[in-house]
Amino acid sequence: MNALSEAEWLVRARQPMRPPMPWFNLQDMTDRDLLAIYRFVRSLGPAGEPTPVAVAPGERVDTPYFEFMPKNLPVPAQQARR
């Protein structure tokens, strides 16, 4: 976002993006709200390291990550009887 002007940000914010950016919410925001987001993020200072490139399903991930799969689900009654 450091390289985008306010006008460029308004156009970009309404285009589909990869998750986790909620582009479907941004496209419905007013210009005023989007400019407030732009100005807030710019006020945070220089950007840090870029985020890693997305990894396709089944490929090896070399960075830390979260698994959002429950590990302790109860066994359904029909499977417990087997």
Each domain of the chain, given as residue ranges in start order, spans: 1-47
Residue 33: predicted pLDDT: 93
Per-residue tokens: 26 = 């941004």
Mean local confidence (pLDDT), 41-68: 86
d(CA 77, CA 15): 46
Q: How far apart are CA 13 and CA 78, in angstroms?
A: 48
What digits encode the pLDDT tens for the residues 12-50? 888 877 666 676 788 788 999 999 999 998 998 888 888
Which residue did the predictor score with more confidence, 81 or 60?
60
DSSP states along 16-27: ---TTS-HHHHT
Q: What is the pLDDT of residue 39?
A: 94
In the predicted model, what is the mean pLDDT of residues 51-65?
Answer: 86
Average pLDDT over residues 3-18: 85
Residue type, 74: P
Identify whether the C-beta of residue 47 lies closer than 8 Å to the C-beta of residue 3. no
Using a cut of 0.85, tell me whether the model's pTM lies above it: no
C-alpha dihedral over 50, 52, 54, 60, to 10 degrees? 170
